[in-house]
Amino acid sequence: MEYRCVQCGFRIKTLFVQYSPGNIRLMKCVNCKAVADEYIECELMIVLIDLILHKPKAYRHVLFNVLNHERTHFQGLLWKSLVGFLVLDAYRSLLVKKPEEEWGTSMSISSIFWIYRKMLMDVFLGNYMFLCSFLFAIRSLLKTSAQFSRFGSFHLQ
């Protein structure tokens, strides 16, 4: 497994050298000459607090030096998360749009099925439209930034 320096993101071979149990020496990055990953010695709560504070070093530690990308099946996790999100969003949409007085004991199975089908289609369509508009906005922003970088950048002093 290849690790990364949390300071600069440079690839390194190892994060520490272990001389004996409990006796380790942290390695320095060859690029920035700083300790490659000081979070190795930190408690999980410190790492969690730094993640909440959105510190890039903590994110680099977790994403590059803790998670093993060969063993973690991100695609399966992504599909499971997507299905769970859509089901929960459909349930939320159902509760928001359906007042209690419309739920009666006289509803047939086909009408309940029709309501759920309509809710799921609303959720799928709504999320699809959101994703398309989000990707369009990102694409246009990237195109604009690429055009801007072609003409040169302006530096404020």
- Taking only the tens place, the pLDDT of each residue in 60-106 is 898 888 876 666 666 677 778 888 888 888 777 777 776 654 555 56
Give the three-state DSSP class for 52: helix
Q: Is the pLDDT of residue 3 over 60?
A: yes
C-alpha–C-alpha distance, residues 124 and 128, integer Å: 6
Q: What is the pLDDT of residue 98?
A: 65
Question: Which candidate, 18, 2, 13, places its Cα nearest to that of 63?
Answer: 2
Q: According to the model, what pLDDT value does residue 149 have?
A: 56
Q: How confident is the model at residue 140 (pLDDT cuts 50, 70, 90)?
A: confident
Q: What is the pTM of this model?
A: 0.49
The model's confidence at residue 116, banded by pLDDT at 50, 70 and 90, is: confident
Q: Taking 80 as the threshold, does the pLDDT of residue 107 lie above it?
A: no
DSSP classification of residue 43: -
